[in-house]
A and B are shown apart, each in its own frame.
Chain A
Amino acid sequence: MNRLQDVFLQKQGNLLNVYFTAGYPTLHSTRPLLRALQAAGADLVEIGMPFSDPLADGPVIQDSSTQALKNGMTLSLLFEQLAGMRDEIQLPVLLMGYLNPVMQYGMERFCADCEKVGIDGLILPDLTLDEYEREFKPLFEKHGLAAVFLVTPQTDEARIRKIDALSNAFIYLVSTASTTGTKNAAQSATEAYLQRVASMQLQTPAMVGFGIKDRSGFELACRYTRGAIVGSAFIDALQGASEEDFPALCKSFVERFKSPVSTT
């Protein structure tokens, strides 16, 4: 059992999963942001590995990726930054990103390095279910990495069941048919979809992501799932911030979604 599976079992209440892009706003923000998010009471963190062509992302995350690459972010550097993080970071940490940079790094080497620095799970949107099952499942398992898959309002029941069977941490429910950061869809449509998935009684917990920006969106997600993933709204908040700002910024950001709770 890793930290990721643990958090869903051990923590009561709603879980907030915060996404940021490695190398944004500055090249060396990664560790300071992890510390600040942990202190602020985030429950999970997703670190985006920037890519030149992020297909599933809207303008906010695209721009943060472009900036991160300009700042000089690479996968090798990210692993250097994450080395030793488990001395101070207890939060479950996932890496999210597109296949090509991972493939160039080498999938085996990537998974081994993830394990070495203490990564708990991976979200690779263009790694299809089929390809994961066929090629990479044993590798992920060997390195203790949970695979997180997306489900959308268009995903049919049989496929959701298959995703449920293959998942070992949480299922990522994409709120609406859209790229990241798009405006909230009609609340009723989202609600019917969340209700439909909730009624399937899946074995894997779910979180909702894409377009969650405020407490009402977060609470809607939490009525049907264990929590939500917030990305674009956090990237927006980070714009122009420097390292000294992170603790206060993360604290007030987390409080936009959840009331303060003690983390110990």
Chain B
Amino acid sequence: MTTQTKSPYAVDERGFYGRFGGAYIPELLYPNVEELQKNYLKIIEQADFQEEWRALLRDYVGRPTPLYFARRLSERYGAKIYLKREDLNHTGAHKINNTVGQILLAQRLGKKRIIAETGAGQHGVATATVCALMGMQCVVYMGAVDMERQKPNVERMRMLGAEVRPALSGSRTLKDATNEAIRDWINNPADTHYIIGSVVGPHPYPDMVARLQAIISEEIRKQLKEKEGRACPDYVVACVGGGSNAAGAFFHFLDEPQVQLVAVEAAGKGIDTGKTAATIARGRIGILHGCKTLLMQTPDGQVVEPYSISAGLDYPGIGPLHAHLHDTGRARFLAVTDDEAMEAALELSQTEGIIPAIESAHALAALKKMSFENDEVMVVSLSGRGDKDLATYIDYFGRRS
């Protein structure tokens, strides 16, 4: 798309969205980050990059993913509900849209080695997958606690040929895995590319990952035009951890004010319980992983470990684009508890025959918190499938019955 006048939601030349974003990095990372800042747009916009990326998305990932009209769910809620089926991507989530793009970029920058962080393991698996595809060395950092909680994904990454290194520092979860990946990058400045898994980190990562995930809304527009005769729905709803599936689902609607954007955070046990991952509801502006954004932290500025039943939503920060969408009121932010998400997952399973990832179930649960007119059209980003969460579902519903 050509950009006419600059969108108020686009990143500026210093990497900021309003008061959020930037690149607060130690000098040690400066050459790496500067190289990316100077090259990412040039590379992503090249015809040969676009061609190769789109061919892989089609033939390898399985895009376009369907925009499925959920008839029974729609009847129940009294709106036209479409599900954007990112769960049908290869490896089971939207994460691979980003990793396919970034590995092509890494190749064009002459990098030989890939590192990544992962929480639940979905981004780690998506990274290990494209590294296998391209024959590149892959090291994935994962919190020691998460490795214990998400064993099958650890084994998947290993089977794909990646080395999984436990992050043993701090709280031993996603934020610490991210610290370790950044430290690895500091120690390997020449040959290594760091594939961040969401729209977080220093500029240009938030913009770069958003552009690679923007394929989601690009397809929604086309598909909705065919099905409804209009490209713009009334609502787009997506869950937010770091915010990459939401950024991708919102991207081509940001400057269409008639489209209401709804971002759904994980409230965990409840936003007032201290066991929550609702960064917009509970965070204060701060700096983590090179990015100024809303952050869960103590009054002294120590980063607090978030909690959610879904391992993919418990990042203590949020992408700077989303913090800005909240500031400006462009998007509405809702918080959904563990229980509400689990209920919504069960509902989707039994009304549509689709078992969603627990992350995606947070977006579905938001339907209960919204009111709509009968013919309003809404698109829910079904960011991933529930296979990885089966043990959690069994445990949760088993304990309840």
Whether chains A and B associate is: yes
**Residues of A in contact with B (beta carbons under 8 Å apart):** 51-56, 58-59, 62-63, 66, 69, 74-76, 98-105, 125-131, 149-152, 154-156, 159, 174, 177-179, 182
Which bucket holds chain B's interface residue count?
Answer: 35 or more
Does the CB pair B22–A55 fall under 8 Å? no
B26 at the interface (CB under 8 A from A): yes
> Given A66-B170, A99-B287, are A177 and B189 also a contact pair (CB < 8 Å)?
yes
Does the CB pair B28–A56 fall under 8 Å? yes
**Residues of B in contact with A (beta carbons under 8 Å apart):** 14, 22-28, 30-31, 169-170, 175-176, 179, 182-183, 186-189, 284-290, 295, 297, 299-303
CB nearest neighbor in B for A182: B187
Taking the closest CB of chain B, its distance from the CB of A57, in whole angstroms, is: 8
> Given A66-B169, A179-B186, are A174 and B287 also a contact pair (CB < 8 Å)?
no
Give Cα A152–Cα B188 distance, bound, in whole angstroms.
13
Give Cα A53–Cα B304 distance, bound, in whole angstroms.
10
Q: List, sorted by A's number, 9 A–B pairs whose CB atoms are closer than 8 Å.
A: A53-B175, A53-B179, A62-B169, A66-B169, A103-B286, A126-B24, A128-B24, A178-B28, A179-B183
> Given A55-B179, A126-B290, A177-B187, are A103 and B301 also a contact pair (CB < 8 Å)?
yes
Chain A residues whose C-beta falls within 8 Å of the C-beta of B188 in the assembled complex: 177
Give Cα A193–Cα B188 distance, bound, in whole angstroms.
17
Does the CB pair B299–A104 fall under 8 Å? yes
CB nearest neighbor in B for A159: B30
Chain A residues whose C-beta falls within 8 Å of the C-beta of B31 in the assembled complex: 152, 154-156
Which one, A63, A98, A104, A128, contacts B300 given CB within 8 A? A104
Does the CB pair A100–B286 fall under 8 Å? yes
Does the CB pair B169–A100 fall under 8 Å? no
Does the CB pair B300–A75 fall under 8 Å? yes
Does the CB pair A53–B24 fall under 8 Å? no
Does the CB pair A55–B303 fall under 8 Å? no
Give Cα A52–Cα B289 distance, bound, in whole angstroms.
12
> Given A104-B297, A178-B187, are A52 and B303 also a contact pair (CB < 8 Å)?
yes
CB nearest neighbor in B for A151: B27
Chain A residues whose C-beta falls within 8 Å of the C-beta of B24 in the assembled complex: 99, 126-128, 131
Give Cα A127–Cα B189 distance, bound, in whole angstroms.
20
Taking the closest CB of chain B, its distance from the CB of A197, in whole angstroms, is: 14
Does the CB pair A55–B289 fall under 8 Å? yes
Does the CB pair B27–A52 fall under 8 Å? no
Taking the closest CB of chain B, its distance from the CB of A160, in whole angstroms, is: 10
> Given A103-B287, A131-B24, A174-B28, are A52 and B186 also a contact pair (CB < 8 Å)?
no
Does the CB pair B300–A101 fall under 8 Å? yes
